[in-house]
A and B are shown apart, each in its own frame.
Chain A
């Protein structure tokens, strides 16, 4: 045991020494310049392609078809909003507790199902709900109730299963993985295997003209909600005492504890907010694209990509990651030559590879 602790201490010292080198060897600096240039070249090439050369694609070159370009841009931006809401919850929990919540996608899906059921009972129809049937309250109340329910479930999970093994990150990941397997199977049993959809309130289901193209107001509504979430999150983390404690806890948990702050309560609250955000995103996602069994895995993947690109545990990273990933998702299929559209998935991998090649822990991430 003694040897063990001595070794850990050694490793920490070595790590801190290694992370702040006094002088960088020239080889590291030259690789950095190389990668910076690589990034610039890639960026310019993509921009030129989209602007001028993408004639044979489904969207067409941006100088010929500014409308299609604008629509693609808006698609990316609005999807990035949804990505941010979900991934910020994931990254918040990881940043403070080092817990990788593999059940994040399950919370997303469960919240969506709860909200759909609630909306159906509020509207009084089981199927074929029209947007005109849905008042704004019949969307907002299911949203808040479902998110709250999922957040409570998240806290229960954290208190029962994760509280006492804090710090064992792999064990916690596998525990939440088991929870996600159980939840997925139980949701399949209770809500069935068919795709379901939450219905936007009638007030936002409108189309407007933008550069000659029709665009759905509901997507902008989604982006607006995401912005509200981002601002609230920013205010909470930067302008409240609780936010201050969380930010301090991200940097040095032991020190916060030593200052007499009950960090276990802070952990619980953070997990509540993280799960709430998953649920909030779930209802938005269910209104935007519908949900079905398997959506949980898809959104776990989306959250993972955003935080791997942006850096785990960083809210700024979540914003950057959501924007980059959202843009790749919307631009890749639109600006690939038509017969290769189905190769779009490769660009998600290219994005990951490019970021990892430059910064293995993400754009705003810190090495462990």
Chain B
């Protein structure tokens, strides 16, 4: 029952997103919602790693940025910064994703023997080193960044096309990740998250599973990075510095770092707050200006972490559970509630319970 409800909401949201250009303003669709979907896609790679791999990664924005820088270097022509390879835009995409995946595999392999909080710190250092790298190494960018990067000609004059590509790729990623976590690999990954020692003794290669998951998440972040560079047309190291790096984690945390949907929900809340905060009634009287946006975001994250560590999706699920409880549907509510406590450390949607013999069967 829980699963069908979840699917229903997902389908409804996708329907709204697809129909949005019919009634939304151009600014809302092409600016606000395109950015939301791109950031949601990038944040989904954080949620995937954290919910199913037990790895909270802060390197996803770095990979997002690497894809962007590589596109910029590849398509740039004489006069721009970077390598100025002047390649075709679609070749540039393949190149950018290949580099991103290679870097992700390297970083993943380096950090695969750690998990949890240690992984968080390690990936934060990767992110900041990456920022300084692109800032200082002028071969690829320099602090000025790369500007004037064109999207492929197909998008020219049709910003709605880019919006639709973002939505389609988000849906593909969402469905793909949900299928992936039920595949043998996904099951093994969740086993690694819950008990690496036991998985290792069952014959699973723990480090390899973590590396592969990180590499795959790097690919998702890279795709989002390519979309971002097409949308934005420019990239500089400041956009992958420590502030934006934390912002992407914050997006995942706002939505709920144990629920895949949370990535896009968090991105929506974040982008809406970023664009429309000043329009709130009484915003001026309590000193809520755009300049203090980060304080508001910080307070929001603090509130979420203090009250509902599984984010807004967790809040919604709890409200729904309470509502079902009021209708006298008491039998199933307790199951639902215990399903979504972050304290159990294995958040995220659960498929049907897997019989033990299936798990053991997969090692043979």
Contacts and interface: CB of A to CB of B under 8 A. Distances in A.
A15 interface: yes
A275 to B, nearest CB: 18
Contact of B305 (A15, A178, A344): A178
Contacts of B250: 177-178, 181
B344 interface: yes
A100 B117 contact: yes
B305 A174 contact: yes
Interface residues of B, number: 50
Interface in B95-127: 110-111, 113-114, 116-118, 120-122, 124-126
A10 B138 CA distance: 52
B197 A18 contact: yes
A297 B125 contact: no
B272 interface: no
15 contacts: A4-B344, A10-B198, A15-B197, A169-B117, A174-B301, A178-B298, A179-B298, A181-B250, A182-B298, A185-B292, A301-B242, A304-B125, A307-B121, A345-B133, A356-B122
Contact of A184 (B194, B195, B294): B294
Contacts of B306: 161, 175
Most buried by B among A178, A189, A305, A352: A178
B187 interface: no
Contacts of B124: 300-301, 304
Contacts of B136: 342-345
Interface of B: 56, 110-111, 113-114, 116-118, 120-122, 124-126, 128-129, 132-133, 136-138, 194-195, 197-198, 200-201, 241-243, 246, 249-250, 253, 291-295, 297-299, 301-302, 305-306, 309, 342-344
B240 to A, nearest CB: 12
Interface string A31-74: 00000000000000000000000000000000000000000000
Contacts of A308: 121-122, 125
A360 B114 contact: yes
A132 to B, nearest CB: 36
Contacts, number: 132
B118 A14 contact: no
A181 B198 contact: no
A262 interface: no
B295 A342 contact: no
A185 B294 contact: yes
B128 A361 contact: no
A349 interface: yes
A258 to B, nearest CB: 24
A28 interface: no
A100 B122 CA distance: 12
A309 B292 CA distance: 36
Given A10-B198, A349-B129, A170 B241 contact: no
A348 B126 CA distance: 10
B197 A297 contact: no
Contacts of B133: 345-346, 349
Contacts of A304: 121, 124-125
Most buried by B among A168, A185, A298, A343: A185
A180 B305 CA distance: 14
Contact of B138 (A300, A342, A352): A342
B129 A348 contact: yes
B292 A345 contact: no
Contacts of A230: none
A178 B118 contact: no
Contact of A177 (B292, B299, B301, B342): B301
Nearest to A186: B295
A109 B293 CA distance: 20
A10 B250 CA distance: 34
Contacts of A100: 117, 120-121
A298 B195 CA distance: 34
Interface of A: 4, 7, 10-11, 14-15, 18, 98, 100, 161, 168-171, 173-175, 177-182, 184-186, 189, 294, 297-298, 300-301, 304-305, 307-308, 312, 342-346, 348-349, 352-353, 356-357, 360-361, 368
Contacts of A186: 295
A368 B116 contact: yes
Contacts of A356: 110-111, 113, 122
A11 B197 CA distance: 7
A304 B242 CA distance: 13
B110 A301 contact: no
B287 to A, nearest CB: 10
Nearest to B132: A345
A297 B292 contact: no
Nearest to A184: B294
B225 to A, nearest CB: 20
B132 A182 contact: no
Closest 9 A/B residue pairs (Cβ):
A182-B298, A181-B298, A360-B113, A185-B294, A297-B242, A178-B302, A178-B301, A14-B197, A342-B136
Contacts of B297: 181
A115 to B, nearest CB: 23
Contacts of B298: 178-182, 185
A189 B125 contact: no
B125 A301 contact: yes
Contact of A353 (B110, B246, B342): B110
Contacts of A189: 291-292, 295
A352 B291 CA distance: 36
A181 B124 CA distance: 15
A170 B258 CA distance: 12
Contacts of A98: 117
A349 B122 CA distance: 11
B256 to A, nearest CB: 12
A209 B268 CA distance: 61
A175 B117 contact: no
Contacts of B302: 161, 175, 178-179, 182
A54 to B, nearest CB: 20
Given A14-B198, A189-B291, A356-B110, 12 more contacts: A14-B201, A100-B117, A168-B343, A169-B117, A174-B301, A175-B302, A181-B298, A182-B299, A300-B124, A345-B129, A352-B122, A356-B111
Given A11-B198, A312-B118, A181 B125 contact: no
Contact of A174 (B198, B242, B253): B253
